[in-house]
Amino acid sequence: MIRIISKCITIQLLITIFTVCALTPAARAAVIDTQTILSQENSSTKAELQNILARDDVREQLILHGVDPADAGLRIAALTNDELSQLQQHINDLPAGSDGLAILGAVFLILLVLELVGVTNIFSKF
């Protein structure tokens, strides 16, 4: 009697194990290179910066300082990885609830440094 019960339990256990193994998809992993990760991070950072530039108060401050918001957007799109991380660091260091003037100042400062280094020529029109 015990032998029959143990055979039934063994058969049910085997059926359960094979069913679970057959229905569970296999995990697939691949190596992701560093450039892929960096490009994903940079694209999300650039999108975040573009969203900040799309705010009306930031656009007003850019115009107030004589910077065309479209040019600023193009310059953000052209930032290198180091410049982008530096700008992101400045934005993350700012206190929450600020009026955006500090963000605008950081963007303006980076654009000014890029102009002085000769990477851009935004201010040549003035």
In a domain, 66, yes or no: yes
Q: How far apart are CA 110 and CA 62, in angstroms?
A: 13
Which pLDDT score, from 0 to 100, does residue 96 have?
56
- Rounded distance, CA 76 to CA 22, Å? 50
pTM of the model: 0.43
The answer to whether position 16 is within a domain reads no
Those residues of the chain that have pLDDT short of 50 are: none
Query: Would 93 be classed as within a structural domain?
Result: yes
Render pLDDT for 39-63 as a digit per residue (tens, 0 to 9).
777 777 778 888 888 888 888 888 8
Number of domains within the chain: 1
Is residue 117 helix, strand or coil?
helix
> Which amino acid is it at 23?
L
